[in-house]
């Protein structure tokens, strides 16, 4: 499609000539999104102020809003090269964004779903329309935008995505095309384990692709969770499926004829309700991620090495990709495995045995606290990108994903984030610890490290706890970049890093140690030659580097459709708290 295009079903982006252009800082992107969801309609200025600033608008909110509108209008004019420029019109006390609805992914998604609802639509055509609709998603909707209004829209869009994706799965199965359904529904059903339609579609796809044992296990697990968590039994469709598979039938009982997806319930896009009005409990924000049904590669499903902390704290939610600002995190107690944290560590708690400040996060909340965490958004020289949409919390763990198989790097997308916002520990000394594991697969390298709060690693140095470049994840190495000095690469460590391990770095006055599973692998105090280490405040970062780079190979045909860094917990222990800075 020619002309400017807008993305809301992921990070808010403006594209032209196949390339993204800057949509401005977060507040300006909220203004743009607030106009795009009601494209073609007049949105009163007071409504826009409520959407952008909520209950705490600045003193000159209307004037600031006008400045944002002017700069968005100028950016759209500069982005257009072939006429038909989207424009913002001042009209009747508000603003109207004039744009072809098919230039906005959200409205195109809804049009495709609406066309598929036509009862006269043939089965093949319905599957194709829904395939296109599902393929428009590329992460958490409105990813990274602040504010209550953005939270509500994310919640609503997550439900729309689930409904349309379930309808797409049913349509594909009805025409005998189970492979893309399997690739898409495995992670989605894991994210929403109590949704019977998703589980039923996944079970049928597993049987159709010759995997009846996994289908039976899905049925058993789903029923057990329903009984334990809701006190109800499975519906008749899943019970019939289970019995048919047990009897060894080649095909389970026929599913009901595919029904066109129902239109989503209306979402309130007006200002927040007054205090006297009834207020619905907000579900965690979500969306099920960038499910590309054209990619038929089937991800492996395994429950191996799942830590009890993550299993016990898994939260059942209606959303999918769960990345938002919410409340401070709370810890959880219970038995742990070797190499995992024990006890109950709340943010900024104190360990009486060592008189240390302890700041920990176990991701038991279904949302990420963006008062502490900052997801990356950047483009690499090889054409790959870091996107906030590739960071989420799922099943009680932080997940940082990489997707794409372009060997040149272009088209590949990955995630990363730093523990560096105002509420995060940014210290000159102390111990940072991460419990993590990494999926195998070429094209994506893991880096866990400490970065200087100054953003100047050449002057102030940095510490890499673990770097894993090779696809099999059987070797890692630490790195110390000395201030104004050479880089010290520590000895390579062998192991299965697709399993859970404990990674740690200790910074003390004049020395640093890097540990793997409580075993010291680098200790600057024992080196023959003195090593100057960073002495400025540092913050933790975790990231996937999309290849090809100097050390990370390019993706290849065997690269999974998704490679994930799983993080069960992070922790900082230090004897003194120094002021942190927001990045």
CA distance 109 to 290: 13
Q: What is the mean pLDDT of residues 416-436?
A: 90
* Per-residue model confidence (pLDDT) at position 2: 58
Residue 335 has pLDDT above 60, yes or no: no
User: What integer is the mean pLDDT of 74-92?
Assistant: 78
Nearest 10 degrees: CA dihedral of 423, 429, 431, 437? 70
pLDDT higher than 50, residue 288: no
- Looking at the chain, the domain(s) classified CATH 1.10.10.10 span 5-101
Q: Measured between alpha carbons, how far is 197 from 413 in angstroms, rounded to an integer?
A: 30
pLDDT at 264: 46
Share of the chain above pLDDT 90, in %: 35
Cβ atoms 40, 96 nearer than 8 A: yes
Residue among 112, 261, 127, 133 at smallest CA distance from 197: 261
User: Measured between alpha carbons, how far is 157 from 142 in angstroms, rounded to an integer?
Assistant: 10
- Which token pair is 21? 């252009």
Residue 471 pLDDT level (bands cut at 50, 70, 90): very high
Residue 67 has pLDDT above 80, yes or no: yes
pLDDT at 306: 37
**For 440, how many CA atoms within 13 A lie in the half-sphere containing its CB?**
12
Q: Is the pLDDT of residue 328 over 70?
A: no
Give CA–CA dist 555/339, Å, rounded: 31
Whole-model pTM: value is: 0.47
DSSP structure class, residue 286:
-
pLDDT confidence bin for 51, thresholds 50/70/90? very high
d(CA 383, CA 550): 15
What confidence tier does 261 reach under pLDDT thresholds 50, 70, 90? low
Supply the pLDDT for residue 580: 41
CA distance 472 to 552: 12
Outline which parts of the chain fall under CATH 2.60.120.200.
350-574
**Residue 341, pLDDT score:** 31
What the block records as the tokens of 453 is 């709060």
pLDDT at 223 over 80: yes
Neighbours of 55 (CB within 10 A): 8
pLDDT value at 85 more than 80: no
Looking at CATH, the fold of the domain delimited by 106-246 is given as: 1.25.40
| CB burial of residue 60 (10 Å; 0-12, 13-18, 19+) | exposed
CATH number for the domain formed by residue range(s) 350-574: 2.60.120.200
Top-tier CATH class for 5-101: mainly alpha
Q: Among all chains, which residue has been given the structure tokens 């002057």?
A: 459
CA distance to 26, 180, 205, 416, 433, per residue, from 294 (Å): 32, 6, 15, 26, 39
Write down the mean pLDDT value for the chain: 78
Which is nearest to 161 in space by CA: 216, 92, 113, 94?
A: 113
Give start-end residues of each CATH 1.25.40.10 domain in the chain.
106-246
Residue 553 has what pLDDT? 93
Cα(287)–Cα(391) distance, rounded to whole angstroms?
12
Can you give the pLDDT at residue 129? 95
Q: Sign of the CA dihedral 405, 406, 407, 412?
A: negative
Question: Helix or strand or coil: residue 463?
Answer: strand
CA distance 452 to 484: 13
Query: Percent of the chain beyond pLDDT 70?
Result: 77
pLDDT at 19 exceeding the cut of 90: no
Token readout for 272 is 């927040």
Q: Is the pLDDT of residue 43 over 60?
A: yes
Report d(CA 69, CA 16) in Å as an integer: 19
Burial class (CB in 10 A: 0-12, 13-18, 19+), 529: exposed
Average pLDDT over residues 317-343: 28
CA distance 195 to 246: 22
- CA-to-CA separations, 236 to 170, 217, 243, in angstroms, rounded: 17, 17, 11
pLDDT of residue 267: 40
Cis peptide before 277 (omega within 30 of 0): no
């Amino acid at each position: 499609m020619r002309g400017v295009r807008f993305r809301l079903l992921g990070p808010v982006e403006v594209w032209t000539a196949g390339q993204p252009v800057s949509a401005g800082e977060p507040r300006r992107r909220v203004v743009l999104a607030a106009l795009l969801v009601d494209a073609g309609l007049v949105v009163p200025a007071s409504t826009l102020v409520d959407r952008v600033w909520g209950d705490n608008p600045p003193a000159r909110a209307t004037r600031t809003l006008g400045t944002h509108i002017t700069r968005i209008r100028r950016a759209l004019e500069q982005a257009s090269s072939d006429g038909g420029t989207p424009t913002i019109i001042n009209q009747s006390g508000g603003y109207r964004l004039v744009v072809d609805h098919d230039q906005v992914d959200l409205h195109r998604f809804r049009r495709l779903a609406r066309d598929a609802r036509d009862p006269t639509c043939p089965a093949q055509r319905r599957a194709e329309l829904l395939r296109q609709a599902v393929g428009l998603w590329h992460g958490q909707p409105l990813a990274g935008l602040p504010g209550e209004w953005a939270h509500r829209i994310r919640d609503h869009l997550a439900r729309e995505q689930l409904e349309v994706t379930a309808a797409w799965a049913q349509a594909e199965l009805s025409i005998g095309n189970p492979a893309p359904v399997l690739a898409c529904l495995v992670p989605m059903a894991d994210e929403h384990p109590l949704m019977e339609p998703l589980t039923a579609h996944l079970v049928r796809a597993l049987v159709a692709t010759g995997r009846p044992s996994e289908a039976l296990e899905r049925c058993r697990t789903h029923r057990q969770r329903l009984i334990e968590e809701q006190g109800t039994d499975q519906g008749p469709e899943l019970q019939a499926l289970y019995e048919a598979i047990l009897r060894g039938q080649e095909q389970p009982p026929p599913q009901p004829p595919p029904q066109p997806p129902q239109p989503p319930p209306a979402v309130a896009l007006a200002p927040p309700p007054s205090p006297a009005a009834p207020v619905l409990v907000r579900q965690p924000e979500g969306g099920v991620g960038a499910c590309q049904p054209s990619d038929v590669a089937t991800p492996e499903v395994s429950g191996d090495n799942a830590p009890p902390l993550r299993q016990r704290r898994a939260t059942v939610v209606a959303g999918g990709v769960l990345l938002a600002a919410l409340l401070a995190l709370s810890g959880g107690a219970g038995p742990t495995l070797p190499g995992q944290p024990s006890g109950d560590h709340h943010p900024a708690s104190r360990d009486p045995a060592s008189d240390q400040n302890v700041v920990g996060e176990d991701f038991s909340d279904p949302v990420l606290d963006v008062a502490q965490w900052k997801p990356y958004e950047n483009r690499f020289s090889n054409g790959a990108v870091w996107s906030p949409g590739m960071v989420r919390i799922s099943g009680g763990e932080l997940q940082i994903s990489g997707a794409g198989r372009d060997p040149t790097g272009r088209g590949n997308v990955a995630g990363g984030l730093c523990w560096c916002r105002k509420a995060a520990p940014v210290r000159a000394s102390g111990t940072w610890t991460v419990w993590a594991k990494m999926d195998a697969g070429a094209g994506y390298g893991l880096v866990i490290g400490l970065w200087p709060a100054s953003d100047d690693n050449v002057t102030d140095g940095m510490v890499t706890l673990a770097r894993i470049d090779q696809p099999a994840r059987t070797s890692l190495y630490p790195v110390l970049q000395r201030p104004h000095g050479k880089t010290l690469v520590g000895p390579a460590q062998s192991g299965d890093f697709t399993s859970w391990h404990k990674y740690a770095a200790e910074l003390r006055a004049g020395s640093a140690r890097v540990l793997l599973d409580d075993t010291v692998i680098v200790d600057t105090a024992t080196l023959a030659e003195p090593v100057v280490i960073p002495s400025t405040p540092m913050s933790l970062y975790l990231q996937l580097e999309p290849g090809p780079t100097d050390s990370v190979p390019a993706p290849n045909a065997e690269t999974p459709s998704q490679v994930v860094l799983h993080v069960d917990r992070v922790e900082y222990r230090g004897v003194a708290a120094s002021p942190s800075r927001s990045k």
